[in-house]
Amino acid sequence: MDNIDASKLGYGSTQKKRMAVVIFVILSFLIFSFYYNSTVGRLPKCNSDEVMEVLSNKLPAGTLINNPQQYDSNVSNAIRYCRVTLDNEIHNFKIMWYSENKDRYIVSFL
């Protein structure tokens, strides 16, 4: 049986291309994750205690607040888009930064 020189078959360059693609995908994911966590990721979640308190302060006393959940986000503008059921009606609201320091946020109905 003859020995085959794998370097002449081009396997090395294909593996290098695959590895470059894998590294690119991993780095892209890490960069996006860092960017997301530094903007939208630090905003309180739609169902957080802080947001629920703000909502209950904005609404008439006795309003039933159920099932708050995020349905979208805008990473470049650092906004969470949320839905909540208020007295059996679905309403949309958003959470966004109030200050550039990202130490205060706004909850507003759409």
Q: What pLDDT, in 10s, does the model give residues 50-70?
A: 999 999 999 999 899 999 999
Answer whether residue 10 shows pLDDT above 90: no
pTM of the model: 0.64
Residue 78 dihedral angles phi and psi, to the nearest 5°: 55, 65
Distance CA 100, CA 33 (A): 20
Answer whether residue 7 shows pLDDT above 80: no
63 SS3 class: coil
Give, for 81, the enclosing helix (H) or strand (E): strand 79-86
